[in-house]
C-alpha cells in the first residue's frame, strides 16, 4: 500500500506545479491591488462593455459550435456504431489521425483554404462565381472551432453506442416500436452519457480557445481566450487578465455542474425505468 502511494508522488507534484500554483497566482492577482485584497478587478471587468461583449460572443460561439458538433457528430457516431467492425475501425482511425497533427497547424490549414487566393475562392472562380470574403469572419472562426473539436463529440458518443446492449433495441422492436420510436425511446436515452461527455469536451475548450479566433478571426473577431492573452502578453495587465481568467473559470465550473446534474438525472431515469 505504501509503495502504491509512493508511485503517486510524481502526479501530486505535477498537479501542484502546473495546476494549483497557476490557479493560486490567478486568484492572487485577480483579488489584490498593490498587495491589498480587493474585488475591484473583478467588478471593473464585469462593468466594461467591451469585455462583456467579448464574453457574450465567446459563449455564443462555443454554444453554436457545440450544437453543430452534436448535430454532425451524433449521426456519424451512430453510423459508425452500426457498420461492420472493419469498416468502422478504418473510419474511426480517419477521425483520429487529424488529432495527431498540431492544433495550430490544423488551424493554419484553414487560412490556406479560406484565404482570398485560397482553395475555395479558386474553385469559385473556376466555376464562374466571384471570390468571397471567407477569412477573418465570424463564420471562419465558427468553422475552425467545429472542425477542431468535432472529433471530441464523435468519439465519446461512438464509445457509448458500441457498448449498448442490443437486446434493448430488439425488445423495443418485439413490442411493436418502429425504428424512429426505438431510437428516441431507447437508443438516444441510453447514449446520453456519451452525449453529455461530448458536449462537455467541446463547449469548455471552445469557450477558452484563443488560437482559432486569432488565426481565423484576424483580430476582428476576438474571443475571451484571446482577450485574456492580450492582457497578459501585450498590455502587461496581470490584474485584469487574472480577473477575466477567474470569470472564465467560474463559467467553466458552472458548465461542469450543469452537465453533471443532467448526467445524474439521466442515470436516475435509467435506474427508475423511465426510458420506457
Written as nine digits, the cell of 163 is 457498448
CA distances from 271 to 172, 188, 265 (A): 18, 15, 10
The band of 2, judged by pLDDT with boundaries at 50, 70 and 90, is: low
CA distances from 128 to 30, 120, 134, 242, 263 (A): 55, 12, 17, 50, 50
Stretch 171-182: mean pLDDT, rounded? 82
By residue count, the chain amounts to: 276
Mode of pairing for the β-strands spanning 32-33 and 36-37: antiparallel
**Pick from 95, 63, 55: which is nearest to 246 by CA?**
55
Stretch 226-234: mean pLDDT, rounded? 91
Neighbouring-strand partners of residue 32:
37
pLDDT, one tens digit per residue, over 182-212 is 888 889 999 999 999 999 999 999 998 888 9
- Nearest-angstrom CA–CA distance, 95 and 111: 21
- Nearest-angstrom CA–CA distance, 109 and 107: 5
pLDDT, one tens digit per residue, over 107-149 is 989 998 998 888 888 888 888 888 888 889 999 999 999 999 9
Written as nine digits, the cell of 79 is 453510423
Inter-residue contact 112 to 167 (CB < 8 Å)? no
Supply the pLDDT for residue 72. 96
Q: How far apart are the first and last CA of the chain?
A: 45
Q: Average per-residue pLDDT in the chain?
A: 88
Per the listing, cell 463564420 goes with: 139
Cα atoms found within 13 Å of the Cα of residue 72, Cβ hemisphere only: 15
Asked if the model's pLDDT at residue 4 lies above 70, the reply is: no
Supply the pLDDT for residue 52. 94
Q: Does domain 48-271 match CATH 2.60.120.10?
A: no
- Nearest-angstrom CA–CA distance, 199 and 188: 15
Cβ-Cβ contacts under 8 Å for 4 (sequence gap 6 or more) = none
pLDDT, one tens digit per residue, over 25-68 is 999 999 998 889 999 999 999 999 999 999 999 999 999 999 99
Asked if the model's pLDDT at residue 69 lies above 90, the reply is: yes
DSSP state at residue 17 = I
Asked if the model's pLDDT at residue 273 lies above 60, the reply is: no
Q: What is the pTM of this model?
A: 0.88
Supply the pLDDT for residue 192. 92
Instruction: Estimate to the nearest angstrom the gap between the alpha carbon of 203 and the chain centroid.
Output: 3
CB atoms within 10 A of CB 28: 14
Among 6-15, 16-25, 239-248, which is the least confidently predicted range?
6-15
Q: Which residue has the higher pLDDT, 265 or 268?
A: 265
Asked if the model's pLDDT at residue 272 lies above 70, the reply is: no
Amino acid at each position: 500500500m505504501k509503495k502504491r502511494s509512493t508511485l503517486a508522488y510524481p502526479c501530486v507534484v505535477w498537479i501542484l506545479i502546473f495546476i494549483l500554483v497557476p490557479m493560486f497566482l490567478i486568484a492572487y492577482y485577480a483579488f489584490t491591488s498593490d498587495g491589498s485584497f480587493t474585488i475591484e478587478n473583478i467588478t471593473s471587468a464585469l462593468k466594461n462593455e467591451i469585455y462583456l461583449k467579448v464574453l457574450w460572443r465567446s459563449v455564443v460561439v462555443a454554444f453554436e459550435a457545440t450544437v453543430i458538433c452534436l448535430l454532425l457528430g451524433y449521426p456519424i457516431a451512430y453510423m459508425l456504431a452500426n457498420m461492420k467492425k472493419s469498416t468502422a475501425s478504418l473510419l474511426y482511425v480517419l477521425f483520429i489521425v487529424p488529432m495527431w497533427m498540431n492544433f495550430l497547424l490544423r488551424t493554419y490549414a484553414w487560412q490556406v483554404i479560406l484565404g482570398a487566393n485560397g482553395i475555395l475562392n479558386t474553385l469559385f472562380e473556376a466555376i464562374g462565381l466571384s471570390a468571397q470574403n471567407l477569412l477573418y469572419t465570424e463564420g471562419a472562426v465558427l468553422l475552425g472551432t467545429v472542425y477542431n473539436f468535432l472529433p471530441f463529440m464523435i468519439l465519446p458518443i461512438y464509445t457509448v453506442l458500441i457498448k449498448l446492449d442490443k437486446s434493448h433495441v430488439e425488445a423495443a422492436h418485439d413490442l411493436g416500436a418502429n425504428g424512429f420510436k426505438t431510437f428516441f425511446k431507447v437508443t438516444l436515452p441510453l447514449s446520453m452519457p456519451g452525449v453529455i461527455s461530448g458536449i462537455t469536451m467541446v463547449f469548455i475548450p471552445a469557450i477558452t480557445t484563443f488560437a482559432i479566433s486569432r488565426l481565423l478571426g484576424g483580430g476582428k473577431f476576438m474571443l475571451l481566450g484571446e482577450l485574456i492573452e492580450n492582457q497578459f502578453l501585450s498590455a502587461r495587465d496581470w490584474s485584469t487578465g487574472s480577473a477575466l481568467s477567474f470569470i472564465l473559470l467560474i463559467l467553466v465550473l458552472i458548465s461542469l455542474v450543469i452537465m453533471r446534474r443532467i448526467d445524474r438525472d439521466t442515470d436516475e431515469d435509467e435506474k427508475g425505468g423511465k426510458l420506457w
